[in-house]
Amino acid sequence: MAIGKILNCIENLERVLDNLRDGIIAHDLERRIFFFNKEAERITAYAREEVLGKDCHDAFGGSFCGNRCSFCENRPDLPEKSEYPISIITKNGETRRVEMSMMRMDDEKGETSGVIASFRDVTDLLALRIRADKLTRFSNIIAQDNKMLRVFQQIRDVANYDYPVHVFGETGTGKELVAAAIHNESYRNGAPFVPINCGALPDGLIETELFGHVRGAFSGAIRDKKGRFELADSGTVFLDEIAELSAQMQVRLLRFLQEGTFEKVGGEKTIAVDVRVISATNKDLKKEVRDRNFRDDLYYRLNVIPIHLPPLCRRKNDIPLLVKHFLRQAGEKYGGKPLRISKDAMSMMMDYRWPGNVRELQNAIWFAIVKCDRGVISAADLPLELSICKGPQSKRGPSKKLESDAVRTALEKTGGNKSRAAELLGVGRATLYRFLKDYQNLMAGE
């Protein structure tokens, strides 16, 4: 009778778990899967009969946890609980974005006996938020402008493939953030993301930084050293300022991209690694090719999937969001209530051209935080260049660039959304607000 009750309880528990909206998977210390519910079957496209009793790495053709689980090592040392987003490859070859929550299982003696993980598919939810213009943060990138939402979609699209990506845009637009986002959205996200600034290292060091060296390869090489490509095995290498590579290094990089192998400096052994390569530059790489400063064959190898980052002056709708983010960051770091920003200060920032882009905006906010001695940042607290370098949009009164018919049409197209109307008109929000203030009858259709 007691055994019957226990079996009945187990059946009821399995029934409950099978009706959850989260996928559930559990395995023992040998990674043998002993539970896999219906939602896990739906998300992964694997039937439970295909995975039960198997090593989770064998069942899914690789680490299901994205190499973040301590069971990937010889001796598991799991925290009690961990949560993280990962991308998984389903049985059908589809990449899905899931939010993973893993919990250590302990037996009656308090010793670790396995792990149970719940995961929820957020792929479609993320896509809907992007299409509905409801997303304001994506993989550590703060933005809500339509141009950046298109970049978000590009990141999601290219993350599913290992093709080389080239990110280009002005200094300070966030090229490394985009590269990291591609890595984080891909199935490689549990492996290393290794950035290297090709313009910050002298020619004599960049070869050993990328490919490593063996002991005795040159004076000072007292031990073997792994290069960035070897350190990034199974992950992603980000080559920033790629246009600064010397002709010799361009040849070596081209060979690596073609063959996936290299030799360390001073070494004879050929090393093969599995890495994704993302490059970036603030220069016009096509022009560099035309000027014979960059190899055309390397250009075509790197520029398989180009992503362009718009300058901040082309996505001014993001300025208030970024300002709020930087102020909140400062409040969390230094304590106290975050400062607020006055209308005059925000108007000045909306009219400024921001040649240094998001990085310059961040610096301006840091400057204002230090200078401000009140709870509200005023225009006088901002760096002097913001008031000196005013563009034509900073003049009071109706903008000469705007006409009432054009503004009315833009407002009709956007359903009265002033931020999106300003974008359609090619002006800052502050400019449109001033125009509407001077022509208040416009909204009434007069």
Write down the pLDDT at residue 138: 80
- Residue 380 belongs to some domain of the structure: yes
Residue 139 has pLDDT above 90, yes or no: no
**Nearest residue to 125 (alpha-carbon basis) of 164, 166, 159, 85:** 85
> What CATH number is associated with residue 30?
3.30.450.20
State the first-to-last Cα distance of the chain, in angstroms, to the nearest integer: 84
CA distance 193 to 157: 19
Assess contact for 278 and 240: CB atoms under 8 A. no
Range in 58-62, 179-183, 193-197 with the lowest mean pLDDT: 58-62
Check whether 2 has a pLDDT greater than 70. Answer: no
**What's the whole-number mean pLDDT along residues 24-50?**
87
- CB atoms inside a 10 Å sphere around CB 246: 13
Tell me if 176 is assigned to some domain.
yes
- State which of 121, 154, 182 marks the end of a domain: 121
Q: What is the residue type of 381?
A: D
On whether both 198 and 282 belong to a single domain, the answer is: yes
For the chain, the average pLDDT equals 82
Q: Are residues 409 and 383 in the same domain?
A: no
Q: Is the pLDDT of residue 133 over 60?
A: no
Write the CATH number for 331.
1.10.8.60
Residues 333 and 244 in one domain: no
Domain co-membership, 297 together with 174: yes
What DSSP string runs through 309-358? PPPGGG-GGGHHHHHHHHHHHHHHHH-SPPPEE-HHHHHHHHHS--TTHH
Q: 384 vs 71, which has greater pLDDT?
A: 384
Query: Of 2-16, 54-68, 313-327, which range is least confident?
Result: 2-16
Q: Which residues pair with 197 in a beta bridge?
A: 240
357 domain residue, yes or no: yes
Q: Say if CB 138 and CB 121 are below 8 A apart.
A: no
Question: Is residue 12's pLDDT more than 90?
Answer: no
Band of the pLDDT at 38, cuts 50, 70, 90? confident
Higher-confidence position of 391 and 211: 211
Asked whether residue 395 is assigned to any structural domain, the reply reads no
- The answer to whether position 47 is within a domain reads yes
- Paired tokens of 219: 């004076």
Domain-terminating residue out of 280, 308, 336? 308
Same domain, 250 and 324: no
pLDDT above 70 coverage of the chain, percent: 83
Q: Are residues 379 and 358 in the same domain?
A: yes
126 or 251: which leads in pLDDT: 251
Please check whether residue 104 is in contact with residue 81, taking contact to mean a CB–CB distance below 8 angstroms: yes
- Which of 98, 121, 144 lies at the terminal end of a domain, its last residue? 121
39 and 64 fall within a common domain: yes
Whether residues 302 and 341 share a domain: the answer is no
**Residue 126: pLDDT band by 50, 70, 90 thresholds?**
low
Residue 68 CB coordination number (10 Å): 15
- Has residue 400 got a pLDDT over 50? no
CA distances from 399 to 66, 143, 410 (A): 53, 27, 15
Separation of alpha carbons 238 and 278, rounded Å: 5
* CB-CB neighbours of 126 under 10 Å: 18
> pLDDT tens digits for 322-347?
999 999 999 888 887 888 999 999 99
Q: Which residues pair with 138 in a beta bridge?
A: 141
**What's the CATH code of the domain at 422?**
1.10.10
How is residue 253 written in tokens?
A: 């990089």
Whether 203 and 273 share a structural domain: yes
Question: Residue 235 half-sphere exposure, CB side, CA atoms within 13 Å?
Answer: 22
Determine which helix (DSSP H) or strand (DSSP E) holds 115, and give its type and residue range: strand 112-121
Residue 396 pLDDT: 41
Mean pLDDT of 102-119: 81
Residue 257 belongs to a domain with what CATH number?
Answer: 3.40.50.300
Query: Do 217 and 346 fall into the same domain?
Result: no
Q: Does 151 map to a domain?
A: no
More confident position, 408 or 68: 408
> Two tokens at 274?
């599995």
State how many domains the chain has.
4
User: pLDDT class for 35, splitting at 50, 70, 90?
Assistant: confident
pLDDT for the residue 394 = 39
Q: Are 385 and 413 contained in the same domain?
A: no
Quote the CA–CA distance of 420 and 378 in Å, as a whole number: 26
C-alpha to C-alpha distance for 121 and 359, rounded to whole angstroms: 34
pLDDT at 11: 61
Asked whether residue 300 is domain-assigned, the answer is yes
Residue 84 resides in a domain: yes
Question: pLDDT higher for 56 or 300?
Answer: 300
Burial of 109 (0-12, 13-18, 19+ CB in 10 A): exposed
Per-residue pLDDT, 5: 52
Q: What is the pLDDT of residue 401?
A: 54
Residues 199 and 277 in one domain: yes
- Identify the domain containing residue 434 by its residue range: 404-444
- What is the per-residue pLDDT across 171-186, written as a single tens digit (0 to 9) for each? 999 999 999 999 988 8
What are the backbone dihedrals phi and psi of residue 287, each rounded to the nearest 5 degrees, phi first? -65, -35
